[in-house]
Amino acid sequence: MTLFSRPTRFHLFILLSLAASISSLTLVSSTSDADARSRRNHQTRIAKPALPTIPPLPLDNPRATVAPEQKAETPVPDQKPAMEAEPAAKPDEKPIVAPKAEQQGPKPDQTEDNKKPDEATETNDAATSPDRIYQNACPAIMNGDIQGELIPPLSEGVCGERSPLKVTAIGKDNPVKFAAPIITNCAMAGSLANWVVEIQKEAQKNFGAEIESIATGSDYQCRKVNNGHKGRVSEHAFANALDIISFKFKNGKTTELGSGWKGKPEEQAFWSSLHKLSCERFMTVIGPDGDAAHQGNLHLDQGCHGKSCEARICQ
């Protein structure tokens, strides 16, 4: 009998051992494969969750308060109302042209920018009008120190005065009249107003009465000094000088320079005091002792002498 025909117990034991080993290996391999598949499925579930079969429906906007039937239709920006088709013109008919719409607002010729020059000038203030005469006001008139008025400018070649005055009286409390109105400038008028206050005292002292009126010679005259043909222009040419001839007092007495300078004692005292007071008020005073041209008139002016216009001439 051979080994394979009559197995022994030993051989049977070996066969069963081999079968058990194979089964163990198979079981272990199956378990490892199952664990690997389980781990891969777990990672897949974490990384990519499964999508639901039916997606959820969107909810209505809870802030919407207008019912669907009340919502206005959104206008189309470029949409224009449909125009009715105009009927085609017949061959014999002329096309109808619609009249132009009237222009609204002011007419072009009524606007501020299109005003005519003469219309714009009428609306301007008189102070800025090109026709306005630019002159200076005189404080002596404004304060009542003299009586007179501003007259139009004087202009004769080199002669003239921008703001001349026509004066009829000087003095505020007891005004002294001029026998005839004089034309002078504001500086002379103010000086005369102060001068007359002083000479009124001399009139009372020497004649016992106040001065009623003053007779004058030259006031404004466009000429040279002493009416000469040569030399400098006189201050008379600028309404800046006045010649005094005589006085009349309220008691009826009178005095003239030509006869009173060396006349009666009261006349001499009056004219001498008048000359001295005048030299304190004016820049130039020329009397009978000055030259032959002033034997009968006392010349007064506010002309400039010296570089600083502070020098005085008293003759």
Closest CA to 257 of 225, 224, 285: 285
Write out pLDDT tens, residues 70-113.
444 444 444 444 444 444 444 454 545 444 444 454 454 544 44
Mean pLDDT of 194-213: 95
Is there a domain that residue 31 lies in? no
Question: In whole angstroms, what is the distance from residue 203 CA to residue 209 CA?
Answer: 6
Number of domains the chain is built from? 1
- CA 142/CA 76 separation, integer angstroms: 79
Q: Rounded distance, CA 312 to CA 7, Å?
A: 177
For 231-255, how does the pLDDT look when each residue is reduced to its tens digit (9 = 90+)?
Answer: 899 999 999 999 999 999 999 999 9
pLDDT on residue 21: 66
Judge whether 45 lies within some domain: no
**Would you say residue 107 lies in a domain?**
no
Q: Residue 220 falls within a domain, yes or no?
A: yes
Nearest to 235 by CA among 268, 115, 193, 243: 243
Q: What is the DSSP secondary-structure string of 125-155?
A: -GGG-TT-------HHHHTTSEEEEE---EE
Which pLDDT tens digit goes with each residue over 135-172? 999 999 999 999 999 999 999 999 999 999 999 999 98
| Domain assignment of residue 275, yes or no | yes
**Which SS3 state, helix, strand or coil, does residue 298 take?**
strand
Q: Over 80: is that where the pLDDT of 219 sits? A: yes
* pLDDT for res 16: 72
Dist CA 282 CA 261 (whole Å): 20
Mean pLDDT of the chain: 77
Mean pLDDT of 24-29: 54
Which element (helix H / strand E) includes 197? Answer: helix 186-207
Specify if 37 maps to a domain. Answer: no
Domain extent, residue 280, equals 139-314
| Residue 48, in any domain of the structure | no
Give the three-state DSSP class for 295. coil
CATH code at position 278: 3.30.1380
pLDDT at 276 over 60: yes
Average pLDDT over residues 287-311: 94
| Residue 266 within a domain | yes
What confidence tier does 30 reach under pLDDT thresholds 50, 70, 90?
A: low
Give the least confident one: 1-5, 30-34, 36-40, 187-191.
1-5
- How do beta strands 241-249 and 313-314 pair? unpaired
